[in-house]
Amino acid sequence: MTRTVVGVDIGNSTTEASAATIAPDGTVRFCGAALTPTTGIKGTPKNVDGVAAAVARALDVAGLAFADLDVVLLNEATPVISGLAMETITETIITESTMIGHDPRTPGGRGLGVGVTVAFDDLAEIAMDAGTIVVVPKGVDFEVAARAINAATQRGVRVTGAILGNDDAVLVVNRLDAVIPVIDEVSRIDAVPLGMLAAVEVAGPGQSIRTLSNAYGLATIFELDAAATRVVSPVARALTGNRSAVVVRTPAGDVADRTIPAGALELTGERKRATVDVSRGAVEIMAAVERVSPLADVTGEAGTNTGGMIANVRQSMADLSNHAVADVHIQDLLAVDTFVPQEVRGGVAGEVALENAVALAAMVRTRESGMRAVADAVRQRLHAAGACDVEVVVGGVEAEMAVLGALTTPGTDKPLVVLDLGGGSTDAALIEAAGDIDAVHLAGAGDLVTKLIDAELGLDNLELAEDIKRYPLGKAESFFHVRLENGTVQFFEKPLPATAFARVVTLAEHSMSPIPTRHSIDRIRVVRRAAKERVFVVNALRALRTIAPGGDLRQIGFVVLLGGCALDFEIPELIADALAPYGIVCGTGNVRGSEGPRNAVATGLVASHAQLVGSAVGT
C-alpha cells in the first residue's frame, strides 16, 4: 500500500518539509515542499507550530489532505546554540578637548592653516599679524562671519583658517577676499579651546589631507620631539583618508594609545590545555584552538573583559537551552580580527577612530536531544488537525540525512562533503566511497558576518547590516539611474526616492534601501567581502581539514553547499575559489534537481525511510 510521508528538518532558523509518496517496493515520488520559520529553540516542544505549518504547506502543495498522511519524519539533532561577542583590544584616548578627525561633508576652501584659536566675538579687537584660527559659534550668519573675517584681514590680521558651528563653510569661503581652509559642522563648538595653537587642513575635491595625517607633519607644526611624536602618531593614523581635519594642541592635551587588559582564554581540549591572550589577535587564538583540538570547553580569565564575555555567552546559552550553567560546554570557537569605530574622547563633533577588536563566535552542543518530546507534541497537534493515524518518527541523524539529500544534486558522487552554512554554525558532513559518514559542527556563520559588517561600518543597525550582507550595492547618481558596484548602470523609468539620491544603496530584487553612512561604495564592498572570507571561507577550510581523510583536502571529490547562505550572491564563489587549488568540485546544491540548496535533510529523511520500506519488502 502506498504511504504518504513528510520529512521535516527543524533548523536553527528555518523548518523545511518535503512531502512524498512511497510505493510498497520503496519507490519514492516527491510531490511537495515547504519552508517556514522555526518557532522556538531547535529541539524543544516550541518547534511544534513551525513543524505543523511546514507539514500543512507541503501537503497543500502536493494536493494532499491531513487525512492522507501516514508518517512524519523528524531529524535527530542535538541543538547547536551559538553566541557572539566582540572585544576591543586598543582604544585611542584624546584628553583635554584635543580635537581630531573631524571630516564634514562640505568643508570650504583648501590648504593648510596654522594659528592660534580666537573667539569670533574677539576678532574685531585682534591687532596682530600672527596666524589666527577663527572659531565661529552657531547662530552667526554666514554673511556676518565673512564680513568680519574680511575686515580683520584688511586691518592686517592674518586669518589662516576658520572653525564653524553651522554648516556654512562653502558659503563663507565664497564671500572671502582670500581662500582659507574652513571646517564646519562642529556640533560642540563651545568645546574648542581658545588661545591654543591649532592647525586646519582642507584638501581639494576627491583628495585627502597630507600634512595632518602625517606624524612628522604634526611634529613640524607643533614642534614636537621624538617622544612626543610617538605619542601623537595615533592622531595622524585616525586622520588618514579624511578630506579635512583640525588638530588643537592644549597645554595638558595629550594622546595615549593604551592596551585594554582584554584578558586570556583558557582552552581545554580532550587531551591538551592552552592559554592565549585575546590581545594577541585571532591568528594566535585559532592556532591555540587547533593545538588543543578537539575542544572540550573554553573559559575566560576572571576579572577581565574576556572573562565576562565568555560568562555572558555561557549564561545566555544556558537560558536558551534550559540547562544548568555547569552543563554548558563550549565545543568550538572562532576568532576573527576586525576593527570597530570608537568615539574619540575629547572630540567636539563625534569623531571616531577605528580600533583593533576581536570577534568571537562560540558554539555549544547540549547534552541530550529533546527530539522525542518534540515528536510527541507534533503527533498531538497533527491528530487535532485531522491526521488521526499519523505516526511521528525521529527518522535519522541530521548529518547523514543531509548527505543523502545532497547526493540527489545532479553531477555529484562520493566522496562528497556537505557544507551547511547557517546563521549560527557551519556544519559539514563527509560520505566516503564506502558509505561511511563523518560530521563536524563549527561556530560562526551568517550572524557573525552580519555583526562584523555592522561593527566595521559603525552602523549600529543589524537589519541594515543584514541587507548589506545579502544584496549587491549601487550608487544613485541621479533620480533615474544607479551605478552598480561592478561598474554597470541600471536605468529606471520612474524617479528614485529622494532619500536614495547620491547615496549608496542595497539592491534587493524588488526594492532598494539607502545606507545612511558616509562610507564609499568601494569601502562597504571591501568590508562585506572581507567579513564573508574571514568567516565562511575560514570555516569551510577548517571543516574540510577536520573531516577529510588524513586531513588531505585532495581526497575530497565534491563539495555541495547547502543552507540559506548558499543562496548568497558571492559566498559560493568565494569558497569555490579557495577550494580550486585542491581540485575539488564545489558549488551550490540543487537538491532533487529542483530545490536548490534547500530541503536536503528533509529529502534525506524521506529517502532513508524509503530504503527501510524497500528492505522490508525484500525480506
Which of 356-365, 482-491, 509-518 shows the lowest per-residue confidence on average (mean pLDDT)? 356-365
Note the pLDDT of residue 287: 94
Percentage of residues of the chain with pLDDT beyond 90: 50
**According to the 3-state scheme, what is the secondary structure of 124-166?**
HHCCCCCEEEEEECCCCCHHHHHHHHHHHHHCCCEEEEEEECC
How many angstroms separate the CA atoms of 89 and 87, rounded? Answer: 6
Residues 327-368: tens digit of each pLDDT: 888 888 899 988 777 665 545 555 556 667 888 888 876 655
Residues 146-201: tens digit of each pLDDT: 999 999 999 889 999 999 989 999 999 999 999 999 999 887 788 788 888 899 99
Of 602, 575, 454, the closest CA to residue 517 belongs to 454
* 525: alpha, beta or left? (left if phi > 0; alpha if psi -120 to 50): alpha
What pTM was computed for the model? Answer: 0.77
Of 221, 250, 251, the closest CA to residue 236 belongs to 221
Residue 307 belongs to what H/E stretch?
Answer: helix 305-321
Q: What is the mean pLDDT of residues 586-604?
A: 94
Q: Is the pLDDT of residue 93 over 60?
A: no
Residue 286 belongs to what H/E stretch?
Answer: helix 282-292
Mean pLDDT taken over the chain: 85
**E strand intervals along 410-557:** 416-421, 425-431, 437-443, 473-476, 481-484, 489-491, 504-507, 512-514
Residue scoring higher pLDDT (135 or 317) = 135
Of 222, 221, 210, the closest CA to residue 254 belongs to 222
Which of 26-35, 235-244, 257-266, 433-442 shows the lowest per-residue confidence on average (mean pLDDT)? 257-266
Domains of the chain, first to last: 1-78+369-408+599-618 (3.30.420.40), 82-89+260-365 (3.90.470.30), 94-257 (3.50.30.70), 447-518 (2.40.50.140)
pLDDT confidence band for 480 (50 / 70 / 90): very high
